[in-house]
Structure 1
Amino acid sequence: MRFVDTIEGLNEIFETDIPKGSVVLITGAPGSLKSGLAFSILSRYLNECDEFGAYITLEQSKKNHLNNMKSMGIEPSDSLLISDFTDCRLQSNMYSGDLLNLIETNIIQHKHRLGDKFTCLVLDSLGALYSLLDTDPQLMRKRLYHLLEPLRRENLTTFLILETADSTGFNHEFEGYLADGIIELGFHTKDNTANRYLKVRKMRASSHSMDSHILTVSNDGLQIYKSTIF
Structure 2
Amino acid sequence: MRFIDTVQGLNNIFNNDIPRGSIILVTGPPGTLKSGLTFSFLSNYLENSEEYGVYITLEESKASHLRNMDSMGLKLSDRLFISDYSDYRLKFEEASGNEDLMEVIGNNIMKYKEKKRDKFTCLGIDSLGALYSLMDTEPTKLRKQLFHLFEPLRRENITTFVVFETYDIIGQTQQSSGMEGYLSDGIIDMMIKTKDNSSQRYIQVKKMRATSHSMDPHILTVSGNGIEIYKDTTF
TM-score by length of 2: 0.94
| Mapping of residues 101-116 of structure 1, within 5 Å | 101-116=103-118
Displacement of 1:90 after TM fit? Answer: 1.6
Partners of 1:15 and 1:123 in 2: CA distance = 26
| CA contact 1:170–1:184 (8 Å) conserved in 2 | no
Displacement of 1:107 after TM fit? Answer: 0.3
| CA contact 1:190–1:229 (8 Å) conserved in 2 | no
The number of residues matched between the two structures is 230
Unmatched segments (≥5 aa) in structure 1: none
Runs of 4+ in 1 over 6 A off after TM superposition: none
Query: Would the alpha carbon gap of residues 96 and 200 (structure 1) be closer, same or farther in structure 2, given more than 3 Å must change?
Result: farther
Identity %: 58
Letter in 1 for 2:186: G
| CA contact 2:202–2:220 (8 Å) conserved in 1 | yes
| Mapping of residues 103-182 of structure 1, within 5 Å | 103-166=105-168, 168-169=172-173, 171=175, 172-182=177-187
Query: Which residue pairs with 1:54 in the alignment?
Result: 54
Partners of 1:14 and 1:50 in 2: CA distance = 24
Letter in 2 for 1:169: T
Q: Deviations over 1:73-125 (max 9, x none)?
A: 00011000111111133221327732112201210111000000000101100
Structure 1 position 190 matched with structure 2 position 202? no
Partners of 1:161 and 1:77 in 2: CA distance = 20
Query: Would the alpha carbon gap of residues 140 and 74 (structure 1) be closer, same or farther in structure 2, given more than 3 Å must change?
Result: same
Query: Would the alpha carbon gap of residues 198 and 211 (structure 1) be closer, same or farther in structure 2, given more than 3 Å must change?
Result: same
Structure 1 position 93 matched with structure 2 position 94? yes
Deviation larger for 205-214 or 90-99 = 90-99
Other structure's SS at 2:188 match: strand
Partners of 1:20 and 1:168 in 2: CA distance = 32
| CA contact 1:97–1:134 (8 Å) conserved in 2 | no
| CA contact 1:200–1:208 (8 Å) conserved in 2 | yes
Partners of 2:202 and 2:2 in 1: CA distance = 22
Unmatched segments (≥5 aa) in structure 2: none
CA RMSD of aligned residues (A): 1.4
Structure 1 position 18 matched with structure 2 position 22? no
Please, which of 189, 212, 218 is the counterpart of residue 207 of structure 1?
212
Partners of 1:39 and 1:127 in 2: CA distance = 17
Partners of 2:174 and 2:205 in 1: CA distance = 11
Query: Which residue pairs with 1:220 in the alignment?
Result: 225
Partners of 1:135 and 1:200 in 2: CA distance = 30
